[in-house]
């Protein structure tokens, strides 16, 4: 069981954080001194010191009877699950990658296959301590400093950083039974997703989690998970076998709960193939401990820093073509999913893509969902997240972000939204409309009156 840091260690870490804030030069921007990230937004190099969050990476306490946990903001989901799973508990939504932090998933957005019934990570938050741009720790909840509590999701640090988050936990059994259901066109896939989300079952069997892999326009596999204590013959995709390939070749499967939570992390969905990690010989030589999303992320960082792939492309293509990085997660209403996928195949042409339905959580029945002002999803409406991560060829001399801009325009036209963890190209006016910047400005004026924290548009679009 992972070590619990306890209240005293947590208090000491918050004092160090405050001291690092006090040591900043007057008027200096307030940022985290954090080496790792799951963001894909390039940003300007910053030389000023950052906030010391090195002591905020653990679990403070777990109340197994109440099914709650107090968690530090920089605690990864890997460490959080390691602490809660021995109690038969997990967060209501566990994002797919091990090193996503709880604070990052709450101030940004996280999603997983349970999101059709459990919503997004911030919807199971009961209370937070937020270190604001004014250098104060403000406790907020739906009843206390509610403006900060409700504006925090999708603020990406523009309102402050969570130091402690109290979350509700879900009781889970030991294993997960999987069914992979093949459909042959996006319209049928959208209709089936909508029906399963409403009924929470398929073919008479309960569905506890659902996501999908669209390999080709005529090959879409929906993976339906049933959480169970049944004794199952479970698979292992941390060795030679690759999880996403099994989705195409098996109709049923089984995993332990822990392996199900991290099924996508070992090969970073399918993106590890870009590093040769799925080649049988390379896989035998590649140590298991390095088959992780954060390792691949660091390799991408090196490529970005030294432009290795771009240089090879220029040599290979003699400067005629260039490649654009298209790494995005978007949400569209389920009844517009087929339209988006059909457009996507023509305009982008990247496969596979990941599909994951979500709804705002309605804990007390229909119509009870909370509206979150900076990412305004409609209560009672099923959306489908479409994730696509890679590069596409564009003509030499094309304007920066050509394909990404087209994606933004299409998603907007379909009544959808785009996550801000990656590059964005919106105009200030469109961004303000989509992400409710007037409301953010009001809340920011209260908790960051001297504007020490970088604004959301500056972070997401201007890369500051």
* Total residues belonging to the chain: 464
Query: Whole-angstrom Cα distance, residue 290 to residue 292?
Result: 5
Query: What pLDDT sits at residue 33?
Result: 75
Can you tell me the mean pLDDT for 9-35? Answer: 90
Number of other residues whose CB lies within 10 A of the CB of residue 347: 13
Q: What is the pLDDT of residue 7?
A: 95
Q: Is pLDDT of 305 > 60?
A: no
Tokens 């911030």 locate to: 122
Strands (E), 334-373: 353-358
Domains, the chain, ranges and CATH? 6-172+445-460 (3.30.465.10), 175-264 (no CATH), 307-425 (3.30.70)
Query: Under a CB-based contact definition with an 8 Å cutoff, are residues 69 and 62 in contact?
Result: yes
What is the per-residue pLDDT for 458?
95
Predicted local distance difference test score (pLDDT) of residue 93: 98
Neighbour count for residue 400 (Cβ, 10 Å): 9
Identify any residues that bridge with 181 across adjacent strands, giving them in sequence order: 222
Q: What is the rounded CA–CA span in Å between residue 226 and residue 217?
A: 27
User: Which single residue is written with the structure tokens 């199952």?
Assistant: 232
Tell me what the mean pLDDT of segment 395-405 comes to.
89
pLDDT for the residue 307 = 53
**Element containing residue 34 per DSSP (H, E):** none
When pLDDT is cut at 50, 70 and 90, the band that residue 302 belongs to is low
What residues have CB less than 8 Å from 400, skipping those under 6 apart?
425
Calculate ∠ Cα 70-373-39, nearest 5°. 65
Residues 251-279, mean pLDDT to the nearest whole number: 94
Residue 45 has pLDDT above 60, yes or no: no
Residue 387 confidence (pLDDT) above 90 = yes
135-171 pLDDT tens trace: 999 999 999 999 999 999 999 999 999 999 999 999 9
Q: Assess whether pLDDT exceeds 70 at residue 259.
A: yes
**How far is it, in rounded angstroms, from Cα 73 to Cα 373?**
22
Q: Report the pLDDT value the prediction gives residue 320, as an integer from 0 to 100.
A: 43
41 pLDDT above the threshold of 70 = no
Q: Once rounded to an integer, what is the mean pLDDT over residues 39-43?
A: 64
Instruction: Give the tens place of pLDDT for each residue, 198-227.
Output: 999 999 999 999 999 999 989 999 999 999
* H-only helix segments in 290-390: 293-306, 308-317, 337-347
pLDDT recorded at residue 306: 45
Residue pair 254/225 in contact by the 8 Å Cβ criterion? no
Task: Tell me what the pLDDT averaged over the chain comes to.
Answer: 91
What's the confidence (pLDDT) of residue 395? 86
Average pLDDT over residues 165-182: 98
Q: Is residue 397 very low, low, confident or very high in pLDDT (cuts 50, 70, 90)? A: confident
- Looking at 39-48, 113-122, 195-204, 331-340, which range is the least confident one? 39-48
pLDDT at 382: 98
209 near 225, Cβ under 8 Å? yes
Instruction: List C-alpha distances in Å: 226 to 138, 223, 240, 260, 451.
Output: 40, 10, 25, 11, 47
Residue 129 vs residues 58, 83, 102, 172, 294: alpha-carbon distances, Å: 15, 21, 13, 27, 27
pLDDT value for 298: 84
Q: Give the per-residue pLDDT at 1.
A: 47
Instruction: Write the pLDDT tens digit of every residue in 335-371.
Output: 999 999 999 999 999 999 999 999 999 887 676 788 9
Q: Where is pLDDT greater, at 23 or 312?
A: 23
Are 387 and 419 in contact, with CB atoms under 8 Å apart?
A: no
pLDDT given for residue 303 in this prediction: 55
The mean pLDDT of 1-23, rounded to a whole number, is 91
What per-residue confidence (pLDDT) applies to 167?
A: 98
pLDDT in tens, 310-341: 545 555 554 546 889 999 999 999 999 999 99
Beta-bridge partners for 220: 183, 214
Q: Please report the pLDDT score of residue 34 as a whole number.
A: 67
- For residues 75-89, average pLDDT: 97
Query: What average pLDDT does the segment 107-131 reach?
Result: 96
């Amino acid at each position: 069981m992972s070590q619990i840091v306890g209240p005293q260690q947590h208090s000491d870490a918050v004092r160090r954080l405050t001291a690092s804030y006090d040591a900043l030069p007057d008027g200096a921007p307030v940022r985290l001194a954090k080496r790792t990230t799951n963001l894909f937004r390039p940003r300007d190099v910053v030389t000023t010191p950052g906030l010391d969050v090195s002591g905020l990476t653990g679990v403070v306490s777990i109340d197994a009877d109440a099914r709650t946990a107090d968690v530090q903001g920089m605690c990864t989901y890997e460490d959080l699950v390691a602490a809660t799973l021995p109690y038969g508990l997990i967060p209501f939504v566990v994002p797919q990658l091990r090193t996503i932090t709880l604070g990052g998933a709450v101030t940004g957005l996280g999603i997983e296959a349970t999101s059709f019934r459990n919503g997004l990570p911030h919807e199971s938050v009961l209370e937070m301590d937020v270190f604001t741009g004014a250098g104060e720790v403000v406790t907020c909840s739906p009843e206390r400093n509610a403006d900060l509590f409700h504006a925090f999701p999708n603020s990406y640090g523009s309102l402050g950083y969570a130091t402690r988050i109290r979350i509700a936990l879900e009781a889970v059994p030991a294993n997960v039974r999987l069914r992979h259901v093949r459909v042959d066109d996006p319209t049928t896939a959208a209709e089936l997703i909508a029906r399963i989300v409403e009924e929470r079952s398929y073919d008479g069997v309960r569905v506890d989690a659902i996501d999908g892999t669209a390999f080709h326009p005529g090959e879409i596999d929906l993976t339906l998970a049933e959480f169970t204590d049944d004794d199952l013959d479970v698979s292992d995709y941390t060795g030679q076998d690759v999880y996403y390939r099994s989705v195409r070749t098996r109709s049923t499967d089984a995993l332990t709960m822990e392996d199900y939570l991290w099924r996508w992390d070992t090969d970073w969905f399918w993106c590890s193939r870009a590093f040769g990690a799925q080649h049988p010989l390379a896989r035998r030589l590649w140590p298991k401990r390095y088959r992780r999303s954060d390792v691949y992320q660091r390799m991408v960082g090196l490529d970005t820093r030294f432009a290795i792939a771009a240089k090879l492309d220029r040599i290979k293509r003699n400067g005629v073509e260039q490649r654009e990085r298209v790494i995005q997660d978007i949400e569209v209403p389920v009844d517009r999913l087929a339209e988006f996928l059909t457009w996507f195949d023509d305009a982008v042409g990247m496969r596979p893509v990941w599909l994951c339905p979500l709804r705002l959580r309605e804990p007390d029945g229909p119509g009870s969902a909370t509206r979150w002002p900076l990412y305004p999803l409609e209560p009672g409406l099923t959306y489908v997240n479409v994730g696509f991560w890679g590069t596409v060829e564009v003509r030499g001399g094309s304007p920066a972000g050509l394909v990404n801009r087209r994606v933004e325009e299409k998603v907007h036209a379909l009544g959808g939204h785009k996550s801000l963890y990656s590059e964005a190209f919106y105009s200030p006016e469109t961004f303000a409309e989509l992400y409710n910047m007037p409301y953010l400005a009001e809340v920011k004026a209260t908790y960051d009156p001297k504007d020490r924290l970088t604004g959301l548009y500056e972070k997401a679009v201007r890369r500051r």
